C-alpha cells in the first residue's frame, strides 16, 4: 500500500526528485525530538539536593545496620555464631558458645542470619583471626528453618570464593526423620566447596537421642581444636558469666510494661497485619469440642476465627500457637523462690553492642516472664545446672549439680537418669534440691524461651476461608518421680472453653506455609495415611476435594488409611468421614482399630492388604502419597510396607524399591508431615 502523502506521476512528467517531508514537517519533527531528548535527560539527571554531612573520620567505613563484618570490626569480635532455629534450641546453643569464648579471651557475637547480609561472608577475612560457627537446625523434611531460608538460598546460588574464611558447623536434627540433619550437613559441605577452611569436624546432634549430650561432646572437642588452630591457651576454668543485669522499676507507667506481647507493645490490644512469628494474631476460639467418645485421653477439635485478619492459608499448612504456662506452676515457682512475681523488671544486656538487648520483651513482670516468655516445663540443660550450682548451700547438692554439668561419663549418666529420664523441670529441681536458692533474675536469664507449638491445619480455606481448625490430643502422664506432666499447649487449649454468654477465649497464632500440598491436578489419585491426630491435614484435603467435585472438576481416587485404638472410643470424625465416603469424595475409607482384637492391627497392615490396587495407582496412575503422624514408628513402618508392596507386586529388589520411593519423594509424590 502506498503512502497517501506521496503522489505518483507518470515518468514522463518527472523532473527533480521531490522531498518526502515539507520544511514544516521537518521543523515540527525536530521540535518534538528536542523536547523528548530534554525530558529524557532531565529524568536521568535529577537536580541534586544539597546535604549537610558530618565529615567522616579518616579511614572510617560507613556502618551498615545489616553488616556483620562492620559490626565485628567496630566491637573487636573475632568469632560470630550464626543460628538457624525454629524452636529456640539452636539459638540457645549459639549463645552458649559465645559465652564459652570468654574463657579463651575470645570475643564473640550471636547472629541471626535473617538480620544480616550473608553475602558478606567472603569479607570475613578482613577480621583478624576470625571464625564463623553455624548452629543449624533442620526443619520438617530436610528444610531450613524460617530464619535460615535466605542464607540457604544464598549458599545454593552463590559462586563466591570463601578462601581464607574459617568455619565450623553443629547441626541439630532428629534421626527419626528421613533427612536427618540435612541443613547442618549441607552448610558444612557447601562452605567447604566454596573454599572455606573447616576448623573442626561437623557435629550432628540427635534430638531423638540426647541432643544436649551430643552438643556438650562436640563443643568439648571443638574448643581445644580452635585453641590449637589460633594458638590460644585455654584457661580450663569454668566460670559463671552473667549476660544481663537486673533493673527494677518501682515507678513506671503500666502502659509501658509488656504483658505477653512478642514484639510491639500493646500489639494484642491494637492488631495490625501482617501477622507472623513476631506479630501473632489474637484469634477467637469459636468452638472447642471433644472428639472421642471414651477412653482416658482427650482429643479435641478447635475452630479459630480469622475474620478480618487477612490471614490466608492452604490445606496442609501449619498453624503456630503461642501458649501460656500453667498459672499454678508459676505461682509455685514464686513461692519456692520467695519473690513478689508482680515486680516490674528489665533484664539489660551487659554487652551494649549486642543485637539482643533483652532475653525477652522488657520491661515486664516476673509473673509475665514465667507465664508467657520462659520454658518452665522442659528438663533443665546442663549449662543451667552449672550456672545454678553456685546457689546451692549444701556441698553434696552443689557437687551433684556440677557433676551432671560435666562432660565425664559418670556425669553424663547421672544427668541422663536424674534429669532427662526423670523429666525434671526447674520446679522439680528446686523441690528436690532444698538448699538451692537462685536469684530469680538469674534464673530468668538462664531459662530458654517458651516456643510456639505447630499443628497441621485440619480445614480447607476453600470451604472455611474465615476460620482455621485444629485437631490435637491433650498430653498428660506421670513421670518417674511421680509428678504429673501436662503438655503446655494442649492443656492450655483444652481450657479455652466457649460459653454462650461470656466473651470468646483467644489464642495468639500465625500460619506457617508447608510443602504438604494436594496435587495440582484434581484428577490425580491421592493415598493418605494418618492415624490418630495425623488425620488433621487430611480433613482439609478431603474438604478441598469435595469442593473441587462441587465445582464440576474431575477428581481422582481418594483413599484414606486411618488408625485408632477402639472403634467405639476414638474413631474421631467418624460421621464426617462416612458422609464423604457416601458422597463419593472418599473412594476408600480403611480404618485400623489396633486394640479391638487379640492381635494389634495398624495402618501398615491394611496397606499390604490392598497392595495390588495401591501399586497400580502409584506406578501407573501418578498417585500421590501422604503420611502424617508419628515419625519414630508409624512413618518408618509405612515406608517398609510400601517397599514390600513394590517388591511383591512390582517385582523390584529391596534396593530398587528404596530408590523408587526416594525418587517419588524428590518429585513431590511422597510427602510427609511427621513428628517425634
Residues with catalytic function: 456, 628, 673, 675
Which distant-in-sequence residues (6+ apart) come within 8 Å of 516 by Cβ? 316, 317, 456, 537, 626, 628, 671, 672, 673
Task: Based on DSSP, count helices (H) and strands (E) in the chain, helices before strands.
Answer: 21, 23
Q: Is 348 helix (H, G, I), strand (E, B) or coil?
A: strand
Measured CA distances, 282 to 30, 279, 323, 632 (Å): 65, 9, 12, 33
Q: Is 660 helix (H, G, I), strand (E, B) or coil?
A: helix
Q: Is 656 helix (H, G, I), strand (E, B) or coil?
A: helix
Cα(290)–Cα(297) distance, rounded to whole angstroms?
10
Cβ burial 439-462 (10 Å sphere, 16+ → b, else e): ebbbbbbbbbbbbbbbbbbbbbbb
Residue among 671, 588, 666 nearest 625 (CA): 671
DSSP 554: -
Q: Note whether 310 and 274 are within 8 A (CB).
A: yes
Cα(654)–Cα(646) distance, rounded to whole angstroms?
8
Cα(186)–Cα(206) distance, rounded to whole angstroms?
16
Cis peptide before 274 (omega within 30 of 0): yes
- Residue 631 in grid coordinates: 515419625
The β-bridge relationship of strands 558-564 and 166-173 is unpaired
Question: DSSP readout, 183-250?
Answer: HHHHHHHHHHHTT-EESSPPEEEETTS-HHHHHHHHHHHHHHHHHHHHT------------EEEEEES
Which distant-in-sequence residues (6+ apart) come within 8 Å of 424 by Cβ? 379, 380, 418, 432, 481
Listing from the earlier edge strand, what are the strands of the sheet with 526-529? 588-593, 558-564, 526-529, 624-630, 670-675
Cα(509)–Cα(468) distance, rounded to whole angstroms?
10
Q: Note whether 327 and 488 are within 8 A (CB).
A: no
Cα(196)–Cα(124) distance, rounded to whole angstroms?
11
Cα(373)–Cα(363) distance, rounded to whole angstroms?
12
Q: Note whether 144 and 154 are within 8 A (CB).
A: no
Percent of residues in the chain assigned helix, strand, coil, to nearest 5: 40, 20, 40
Which segments of 256-339 are extended strands (E)? 281-290, 299-305, 318-321
Cα(456)–Cα(470) distance, rounded to whole angstroms?
7
Cα(345)–Cα(343) distance, rounded to whole angstroms?
6
Amino acid at each position: 500500500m502506498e503512502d497517501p502523502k506521496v503522489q505518483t506521476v507518470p515518468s514522463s512528467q518527472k523532473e527533480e526528485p521531490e522531498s518526502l517531508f515539507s520544511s514544516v514537517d521537518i521543523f515540527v519533527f525536530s521540535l518534538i525530538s528536542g523536547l523528548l531528548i530534554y525530558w529524557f535527560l532531565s529524568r536521568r539527571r535529577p537536580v541534586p539536593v544539597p546535604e549537610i554531612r558530618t565529615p567522616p573520620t579518616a579511614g572510617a567505613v560507613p556502618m551498615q545496620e545489616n553488616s556483620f563484618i562492620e559490626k565485628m570490626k567496630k566491637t573487636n569480635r573475632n568469632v560470630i555464631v550464626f543460628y538457624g532455629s525454629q524452636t529456640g534450641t539452636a539459638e540457645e546453643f549459639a549463645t552458649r558458645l559465645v559465652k564459652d569464648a570468654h574463657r579463651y579471651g575470645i570475643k564473640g557475637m550471636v547472629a541471626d542470619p535473617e538480620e544480616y547480609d550473608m553475602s558478606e561472608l567472603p569479607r570475613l577475612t578482613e577480621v583478624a583471626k576470625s571464625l564463623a560457627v553455624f548452629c543449624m537446625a533442620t526443619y520438617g523434611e530436610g528444610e531450613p528453618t524460617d530464619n535460615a531460608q535466605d542464607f540457604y538460598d544464598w549458599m545454593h546460588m552463590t559462586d563466591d570464593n570463601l578462601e581464607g574464611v574459617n568455619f565450623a558447623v553443629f547441626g541439630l536434627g532428629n534421626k527419626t526423620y528421613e533427612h536427618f540433619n540435612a541443613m547442618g550437613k549441607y552448610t558444612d559441605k557447601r562452605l567447604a566447596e566454596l573454599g572455606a577452611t573447616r576448623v573442626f569436624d561437623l557435629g550432628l546432634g540427635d534430638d531423638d537421642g540426647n541432643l544436649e549430650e551430643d552438643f556438650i561432646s562436640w563443643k568439648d572437642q571443638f574448643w581445644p581444636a580452635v585453641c590449637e588452630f589460633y594458638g590460644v591457651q585455654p584457661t580450663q576454668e569454668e566460670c559463671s558469666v552473667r549476660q544481663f543485669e537486673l533493673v527494677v522499676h518501682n515507678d513506671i507507667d503500666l502502659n509501658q510494661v509488656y504483658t505477653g506481647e512478642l514484639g510491639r507493645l500493646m500489639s494484642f490490644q491494637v492488631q495490625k497485619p501482617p501477622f507472623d512469628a513476631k506479630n501473632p494474631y489474637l484469634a477467637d476460639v469459636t468452638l472447642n469440642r471433644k472428639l472421642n467418645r471414651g477412653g482416658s485421653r482427650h482429643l479435641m477439635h478447635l475452630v479459630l476465627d480469622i475474620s478480618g485478619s487477612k490471614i490466608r492459608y492452604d490445606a496442609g499448612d501449619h498453624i503456630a500457637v503461642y501458649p501460656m504456662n500453667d498459672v499454678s506452676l508459676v505461682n509455685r515457682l514464686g513461692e519456692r523462690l520467695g519473690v513478689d512475681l508482680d515486680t516490674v523488671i528489665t533484664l539489660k544486656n551487659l554487652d551494649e553492642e549486642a543485637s539482643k538487648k533483652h532475653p525477652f520483651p522488657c520491661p515486664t513482670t516476673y509473673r509475665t516472664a514465667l507465664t508467657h516468655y520462659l520454658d518452665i516445663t522442659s528438663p533443665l540443660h546442663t549449662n543451667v545446672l552449672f550456672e545454678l550450682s553456685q546457689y546451692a548451700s549444701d556441698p553434696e547438692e552443689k557437687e551433684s549439680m556440677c557433676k551432671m554439668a560435666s562432660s565425664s561419663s559418670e556425669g553424663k549418666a547421672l544427668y541422663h537418669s536424674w534429669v532427662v529420664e526423670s523429666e525434671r523441670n526447674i520446679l522439680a529441681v528446686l523441690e528436690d534440691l532444698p538448699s538451692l536458692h537462685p536469684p530469680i533474675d538469674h534464673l530468668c536469664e538462664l531459662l530458654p524461651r517458651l516456643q510456639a507449638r505447630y499443628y497441621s491445619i485440619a480445614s480447607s480455606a476453600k470451604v472455611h476461608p474465615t476460620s482455621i481448625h485444629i485437631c490435637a490430643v491433650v498430653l498428660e502422664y506421670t513421670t518417674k518421680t511421680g509428678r504429673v506432666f501436662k503438655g503446655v499447649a494442649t492443656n492450655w487449649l483444652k481450657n479455652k472453653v466457649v460459653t454462650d454468654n461470656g466473651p470468646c477465649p483467644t489464642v495468639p497464632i500465625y500460619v506457617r506455609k508447608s510443602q504438604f500440598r494436594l496435587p495440582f491436578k484434581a484428577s490425580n489419585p491421592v493415598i493418605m495415611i494418618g492415624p490418630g491426630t495425623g488425620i488433621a491435614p487430611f480433613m482439609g484435603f478431603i474438604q478441598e476435594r469435595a469442593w473441587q467435585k462441587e465445582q464440576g472438576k474431575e477428581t481422582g481416587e481418594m483413599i484414606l488409611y486411618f488408625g485408632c485404638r477402639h472403634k467405639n472410643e476414638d474413631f474421631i470424625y467418624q460421621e464426617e468421614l462416612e458422609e464423604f465416603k457416601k458422597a463419593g469424595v472418599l473412594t476408600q475409607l480403611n480404618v485400623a482399630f489396633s486394640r479391638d482384637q487379640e492381635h494389634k492391627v495398624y495402618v501398615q497392615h491394611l496397606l499390604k492388604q490392598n497392595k495390588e490396587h495401591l501399586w497400580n495407582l502409584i506406578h501407573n496412575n501418578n498417585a500421590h502419597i501422604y503420611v502424617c503422624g508419628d515419625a519414630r514408628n508409624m512413618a518408618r513402618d509405612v515406608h517398609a510396607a510400601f517397599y514390600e508392596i513394590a517388591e511383591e507386586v512390582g517385582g523390584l529388589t529391596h534396593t530398587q524399591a528404596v530408590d523408587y520411593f526416594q525418587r517419588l519423594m524428590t518429585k513431590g509424590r511422597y510427602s510427609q508431615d511427621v513428628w517425634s
